[in-house]
Structures are given as structure tokens and as C-alpha cells.
């Protein structure tokens, strides 16, 4: 995937995503030549060598003169050449440069992924015109997510996304993630609309029942190809939930099944195929919705499993994704009282994000919340409090707060008051920019080839 196993194939596939403006080359200066008169060296002619020495004036032979040996030429010093920089090093240099130029406000805005309606204030957005451009200049958020109401037909979607991307580029901002929920089955914003004329992919349960990794890869290729062709860059898929409770209705047929190993294999095959098609994949919903007792869309949702039990089942696909270098994991609003001792959702839990997901499981990619407008969060927290709690927990990307303005201002106030540190903000922004710059570096490398 993204680290080593996918850095070649996947990065090459992302070549079509133009994300950041390149650096200009310095202009060449004018040169001039200075004429010099040639200097001619004149040497006296030496007598030809013979076996006899010329006599001195008094008729005596002089002692033979010793020849002065010419000094040996010192060898030129060969300076060691610096090894060529790796793709990762080039990306880090690019990230450092971007971060150095960003204001605190711009850094905080990179942490949000919102709808075009939240960005512009319009009720329904189906185009990106002057008002979208002005909104981007004011709030260059890290990403925008689109839903069925934003998507009418292929030409309209291509123009809307291309304009949005262009507005970011013209303003000199890192390009946004342009995202969508396109799982297949009942969650398919594009696939369920006849106007797009794409293959309708069924539920992942059916793929799981086949147990064929090649079919999961084909699903990823089909979905990734039509999303990439329309201009999207990120898909909130695949579902990596293990359906450990067959009566669970939250995930149900969206899951590949009940076997952790099978779910791992199929989810990772789909994710790899999505990324090879040019679409960033997001494994969801950590730590697993497969055994929850209720729906976090509506309100409090929890599982009574211990961490050891989760490690044996629900967390298996996420651990496998981390080992393969997945770039995104979505944190769900599931409470795990048997683990944390409280009812705080995992998306806001420092123990579940920083200690378990990052510390114990070793994930250093982008953690994105599930939608913050869901009842499990919005009924308990203000938008500002939820955003601050998520960032303090170790999350990087805040998805769809109820009140974007309130969440944005809440994060800025938390930094000013010392509740959040600038180092925390920069660490998350760095993770986001690494992903964006990696795609730009692969595009540049492709151009050089």
C-alpha cells in the first residue's frame, strides 16, 4: 500500500491527481565573455644532448649538473556524491516548505472535511462557480465530501470538481481531498443513479460469500475507475467491519462477513485496487461496528467487548491494513466501556486513538472521524467541543461537524488557550500533507520519465 508495498504501483496510479503547485525554476542570468590577448611563452633553445660535456673556460670539465625533478602532480580531490534523495525524503521537504508558509488558520482549516453546502452556505450545491471560489479563498478546508444531491450527471460532476480543484490551485493552497461514500450496494452515491451509466456493484456480503479476493479487487477497480474518471480523489470505503453479531443491522450486508481473516483479505484487495485506480481508500469503521448494540447515527452506540476480544476479531482487518501501509482509517463513534471505563466514543477517546490505534497497533497515517453530525456525538457535544476532543484524542481529519464555523472557531480558541498545542495541529497537518504531496511527487516523477 502506501508505505513500501504500495509505494510504487499505487503512487504511479495516483499520477493523474494534480494536488500541489510545483516550484518554479530560477531564471538564467545573461553571460558575457572577456577577451584576453594570447600569451606566448618563449623558451631558449637547449643544446641537443650528447655524450660529451662542454668545457669550462679554464679548460676543465665541470661536474655534471643534477637535474631537478619536476614536482609530482597532486591528484584532484574527488568529492563524494550525495546519494539521490528518496521519494519519501522529497515529500518531507515539500511538506516542510508548505508548513513553513502556512498561517495557523490555514493549518486548522486543513483538518476539516465538509460538504459544499457547509463551505458555501447554500442549501444545495451542484456547481462550483464564483461563490465557491470566494468561499475557498476564505476557508481552504482540507477536503470536501459530496452526496447524491450534489451529483446529477457525469459532465456536471466533472466540471464541479475540476473547478473546485482549480480554485485551490490558483489560490496556492494544497488541493482538497474530493471525497464520496461509494461502497457498492445500498451506499452508492454514483452507482445507484442511472444517469452515470456505471456498473452497479452489489452488497459486500455477496462478495464475501464468494470468498474470492479477485472479485473484491474487481469491485475496487470498477468503483475506483469511475470515481477517478469523474474527478474524485478519495472514497470512504471499504467497510472493514467484521460482522461478529449476525443480528447487527447497522452494518449488515455492507460487511464482507463474519470471518476476520476473510474480511481482512477482501477489504485489503478492494482498497489496493481503489488506490491503483487513483482513489485513496479509507478503512472503516475502527474499532468495528460488527457487534454494536445500536446505531451511532441515532445516538449512543457501544460494544461490551474487551480489548483482547476486539484484537481477536474486529481489529484484525485494521491491523492487517496498517501492516500493508493503508493511509486512512475512519474512527467510529462507538463507545467501549469495558475498555475505557466510560461512554466516550472511540473517535474522541485518547486511549482508543493514541494508545491503541497509534501506539499498540502502530498506525501513523490519517485518522478521520466518522461524520460528527451523527447522533452519538451531536447529542452530547457542541461542534467546537467535539472537534477539540477529537484532535486531543489523536484524530487528524474532522468530518462534517454540525456547525463548521463553530468547530473551526473552537479549535482556534483551544490553541490560543493552550488546550491544544500548535505542535498537535502541525503533526496532523503534516500527515495530511504527506498524502497530498506523495501524489504530487509521483505525478512529477511520471512527467520526468
CA–CA separation, 388 and 386 (whole Å):
6
Alpha-carbon torsion angle 159, 164, 167, 169, nearest 10: -100
Contacts of 14 (CB under 8 A, 6+ apart): 275, 278, 280, 438, 439, 442, 443
Active site residue: 297, 298, 304, 396, which one? 297
203, 265, 370, 403: which is the annotated catalytic residue?
Answer: 370
Task: Give residues with Cβ within 8 angstroms of 430, minimum separation 6.
Answer: 95, 99
Contact between 265 and 220 (Cβ < 8 Å): no
Q: Is 333 a catalytic residue?
A: no
CB within 8 A of 194, min separation 6: which ones?
A: none
> Which residue do the cell numbers 470498477 mark?
222
Helix (H) or strand (E) holding 284: strand 280-286
Is 131 marked active-site? no
3-state helix, strand, coil in the chain (%, to 5): 45, 10, 45
Pair 193, 149: CB distance under 8 Å: no
Cell numbers that stand for 248 in this block: 447487527
Tell me the sheet residues that pair with 280: 234
- C-alpha angle with apex 155: 150 to 161, nearest 5 degrees? 55
**What residues are labeled active site?**
297, 370
Amino acid at each position: 500500500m502506501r508505505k513500501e508495498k504500495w509505494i510504487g504501483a499505487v503512487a504511479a496510479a495516483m499520477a493523474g491527481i494534480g494536488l500541489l503547485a510545483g516550484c518554479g525554476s530560477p531564471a538564467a542570468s545573461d553571460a558575457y565573455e572577456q577577451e584576453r590577448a594570447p600569451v606566448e611563452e618563449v623558451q631558449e633553445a637547449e643544446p641537443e644532448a650528447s655524450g660529451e660535456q662542454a668545457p669550462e673556460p679554464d679548460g676543465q670539465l665541470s661536474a655534471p649538473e643534477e637535474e631537478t625533478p619536476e614536482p609530482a602532480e597532486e591528484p584532484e580531490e574527488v568529492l563524494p556524491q550525495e546519494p539521490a534523495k528518496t521519494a519519501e525524503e522529497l515529500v518531507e521537504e515539500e511538506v516542510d516548505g508548505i508548513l513553513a508558509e502556512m498561517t495557523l488558520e490555514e493549518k486548522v482549516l486543513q483538518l476539516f472535511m465538509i460538504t459544499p453546502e457547509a463551505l458555501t452556505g447554500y442549501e444545495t450545491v451542484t456547481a462550483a462557480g464564483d461563490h465557491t471560489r470566494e468561499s475557498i479563498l476564505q476557508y481552504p478546508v482540507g477536503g470536501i465530501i459530496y452526496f447524491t444531491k450534489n451529483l446529477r450527471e457525469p459532465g456536471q460532476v466533472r466540471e464541479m470538481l475540476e473547478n473546485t480543484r482549480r480554485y485551490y490551485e490558483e489560490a496556492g493552497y494544497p488541493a482538497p481531498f474530493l471525497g464520496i461514500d461509494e461502497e457498492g450496494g445500498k451506499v452508492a452515491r454514483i452507482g445507484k443513479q442511472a444517469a452515470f451509466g456505471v456498473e452497479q456493484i452489489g452488497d459486500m456480503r455477496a462478495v464475501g460469500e464468494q470468498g474470492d479476493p479477485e472479485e473484491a479487487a474487481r469491485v475496487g477497480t470498477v468503483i475506483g475507475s469511475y470515481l477517478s474518471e469523474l474527478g474524485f480523489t478519495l472514497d470512504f470505503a471499504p467497510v472493514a467491519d467484521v460482522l461478529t453479531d449476525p443480528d447487527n443491522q447497522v452494518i449488515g450486508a455492507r460487511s464482507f462477513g463474519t470471518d476476520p481473516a476473510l474480511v481482512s483479505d477482501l477489504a485489503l484487495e478492494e482498497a489496493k485496487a481503489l488506490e491503483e485506480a487513483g482513489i485513496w481508500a479509507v478503512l472503516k469503521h475502527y474499532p468495528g461496528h460488527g457487534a454494536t448494540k445500536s446505531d451511532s447515527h441515532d445516538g449512543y452506540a457501544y460494544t461490551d467487548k474487551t480489548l483482547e476480544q476486539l484484537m481477536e476479531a474486529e481489529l484484525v482487518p485494521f491491523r492487517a491494513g496498517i501492516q500493508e501501509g493503508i493511509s486512512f482509517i475512519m474512527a467510529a463513534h462507538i463507545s467501549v466501556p469495558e475498555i475505557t471505563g466510560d461512554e466516550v466514543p472511540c473517535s474522541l477517546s485518547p486511549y482508543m486513538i493514541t494508545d491503541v490505534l497509534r501506539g499498540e497497533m502502530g498506525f501513523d497515517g490519517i485518522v478521520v472521524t466518522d461524520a460528527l453530525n451523527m447522533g452519538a456525538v451531536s447529542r452530547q457535544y457542541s461542534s467546537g467541543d467535539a472537534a477539540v476532543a477529537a484532535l486531543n484524542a489523536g484524530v487528524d481529519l474532522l468530518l462534517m461537524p454540525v456547525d463548521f464555523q463553530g468547530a473551526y472557531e473552537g479549535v482556534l480558541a483551544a490553541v490560543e488557550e493552550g488546550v491544544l498545542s500548535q505542535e498537535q495541529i502541525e503533526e496532523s497537518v503534516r500527515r495530511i500533507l504527506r498524502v497530498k504531496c506523495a501524489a504530487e511527487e509521483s505525478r512529477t516523477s511520471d512527467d520526468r520519465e
